[in-house]
Amino acid sequence: MKIQYVQGECIFRRIGPLPRQYDYLTENIETDVIIVGGGVTGAILGYYFSKRKIKAVILEKSRIAHGSTCISTSLLQYELDSNAMALKSYTSISNILRSYELGIKALDEIEEFIAENGNTCDFKRVDGLYYTAKDTETKEIEQEYKLRKENGFKVEFIDKETNPFSFDVKAGLLSKGGGAQLNPYKFTHALLEVGSSMGLNVYENTEVLDVRYSEQGVTAETVFGHKVKGKLIIVATGYNTHLFTKRVFGTKTTAFNVATKPIDNLEDIYKGVIVRDNDVTYHYFRTTSDNRIIIGGEDTKFLPDILNEELCTKSYDKLEQRLKNLFPKLKITIEYRYCGAFASTDDNLGFLGKDPKNERLWYCLGYGANGILFSILGGMMLSNLYLGEVDEDLKLFKVDRFE
């Protein structure tokens, strides 16, 4: 059975024209770095390697940014899926705080890219709200607030009396400038456009079917029989890693999203922040540049083919109702419903770096809610690593850290 990781009408590839199509590979070629995966992670890698004048090729089996990238809500926050106290049994508080700092660094990197190359992806730096509507969870939020405040992060605490939002907040942590939102489909194409101008080669509809390693390098054989030779290969395929390794990366679930039609006077009611709650299966929402709201969550055990229409419909309906409960004064009509794979790890961090048993096999897997930010860090750290510069922070994302 061919596993399907994405299903439904993804808003980001529907609300704008196709920026560019790329050729498929029609000849044997050589390069320094082979990047497998043409989603946002592959595009980020391609950009950073090309920026550092390292020859790189991206091979995408389907269409650029048509997989998990286009179902991402691209609600970017430096914080992790769980609060610090919940993660203490898997990693240290110092590692958690360092991951927060790195998240901010990644947000700054994206903002710098936009400043240099223009805002063609609806990028917006915003505050991030982490909150609960339950009295029993206020201490958790307050504890997280104090930890961040004491360690220099720009945060504010919100309670019932100081709540500026129209929905119920018993306790909230507002990260000032600690988040961002963008269109991941457009962002991927923007990265590839800039990368291509610096020598990056991109091929879509070019699936890699086999990979062979030798002392001299690595060879990737593609669907039409053409081969790409390189010094190393980087896996940027998200959850589809079985071609490269038997290693199990994280725990997969299926996450659901719905997006509204444009809403009049949205900014008068919605405060322009990105939001997530503290539920066990948490929910998150954001706005778009054309005044829509996207809400995601209702995660379930991973559905290998995502064809359970009854379950999907039930999950979409729950998200719609939650949105209407949060914003009863808004006229909400859902236009897009879609779902796809989401992966998490015990410490909420992704995997960046070399395979412990194969020097020519590298990974950039941005698992967790911070996938795009982890990929930005991967682009920076792995391109430096190729040039012989080892970043100390790579140890946080070691491929074998759970072994």
* Tens digits of residue pLDDT in 276-321: 999 878 899 999 989 999 999 988 887 665 667 788 889 999 999 9
Q: Is the distance from CB of 289 to CB of 74 less than 8 angstroms?
A: no
Beta-ladder partners of 124: 181
Per-residue DSSP letter, 31: -
User: For residue 132, how far is the Cα from the chain centroid?
Assistant: 23
- Angle, vertex CA 316, rays to CA 315 and CA 322, nearest 5: 90
Q: What is the C-alpha separation between 306 and 273, in angstroms, rounded?
A: 31
Contacts 24+ apart (CB under 8 A), 286-291: 286/73, 286/74, 286/75, 286/181, 287/181, 288/11, 288/15, 288/122, 288/181, 288/183, 288/259, 289/122, 289/124, 289/183, 290/15, 290/262, 291/262, 291/263, 291/264, 291/266, 291/267
Count of residues for the chain?
A: 403
- Below-70 pLDDT ranges, the chain: 1-5, 15, 268, 303-307
Q: Given this model, what pLDDT does residue 71 score? A: 85
Closest CA to 211 of 230, 192, 194: 230
> b/e per residue, 362-387, with b = 16+ CB within 10 A?
bbbbbbbbbbbbbbbbbbbbbbebbe
pTM: 0.95
Q: Given this model, what pLDDT does residue 240 score? A: 86
Q: Is the distance from CB of 57 to CB of 201 less than 8 angstroms?
A: yes
Reading phi first (left if > 0) and then psi (alpha if -120 to 50, else beta), residue 192 is in: alpha
Q: Given this model, what pLDDT does residue 303 score? A: 66
Q: What is the C-alpha separation between 257 and 298, in angstroms, rounded?
A: 9
Sort strands 124-132 and 171-181 into parallel, antiparallel or unpaired.
antiparallel
Q: Given this model, what pLDDT does residue 1 score? A: 35
3-state class (DSSP) for residue 377: helix
Q: Given this model, what pLDDT does residue 111 score? A: 98
Give me the sign of the Cα torsion angle 276, 279, 282, 288.
Answer: negative
Token reading at 191: 């990265």
Closest CA to 120 of 175, 192, 171: 192
Residue with tokens 């229409």: 309
Contacts 24+ apart (CB under 8 A), 133-138: 133/167, 133/168, 133/169, 133/170, 133/277, 134/170, 134/278, 135/170, 137/170, 137/171, 137/278, 138/170, 138/171
